[in-house]
């Protein structure tokens, strides 16, 4: 959830014209990560939880792409992008390991 807060803060400086574009996309992708973890956890089975962890990783990958787009458009500075990307990569790794622990037969994904 810390990543969500950070994404909200960094997107505040984006141009107003991006309110319904990149700002909205990035915020939704960021919120989707912990939301999918929470929803999957409540589903009651490890198989369901594992599926929602894939959704969370997919949202993280989407956010990763949007952060890079923000750099190309010069909406974010290099250092902020590097910090965000490091956090996103770490989250993706944690999600992969968690999924592997709850569903040991999982292959690389």
CA angle, residues 23, 67, 28, in degrees to nearest 5: 40
Considering the four listed CATH numbers 1.20.1560.10, 3.10.20.90, 1.20.1440.60, 1.10.3720.10, the one that applies to the domain covering 2-102 is: 1.20.1440.60
pLDDT in tens, 8-41: 999 999 999 999 999 999 999 999 999 999 999 9
pLDDT reported for residue 39: 96
pLDDT reported for residue 105: 67
Q: What is each CA distance from 109 to 26, 51, 82, 95, 97, in whole angstroms?
A: 23, 11, 24, 11, 11
Whether the Cβ atoms of residue 63 and residue 89 lie closer than 8 Å to each other: no
pLDDT reported for residue 108: 52
pLDDT in tens, 71-80: 999 999 999 9
pLDDT in tens, 42-53: 998 999 999 999
Q: What span, in angstroms and rounded, lies between the C-alpha atoms of 70 and 34?
A: 22
Go through 28-62 and write b for each residue having 16 or more CB atoms within 10 A of its CB, e for each that does not. ebbbbbbbbbeebeeeeeeeebbbbbbbbbbbbeb
């Amino acid at each position: 959830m810390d990543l969500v807060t950070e994404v909200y803060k960094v997107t505040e400086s984006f141009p107003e014209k991006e309110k319904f574009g990149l700002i909205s996309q990035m915020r939704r992708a960021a919120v989707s990560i912990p939301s999918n973890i929470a929803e999957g956890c409540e589903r009651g089975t490890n198989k369901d939880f594992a599926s929602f962890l894939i959704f969370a990783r997919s949202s993280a990958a989407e956010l990763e792409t949007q952060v890079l787009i923000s750099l190309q458009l010069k909406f974010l500075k290099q250092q902020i992008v590097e910090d965000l990307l490091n956090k996103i990569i770490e989250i993706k790794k944690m999600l992969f390991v968690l999924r592997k622990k709850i569903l040991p037969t999982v292959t690389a994904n």
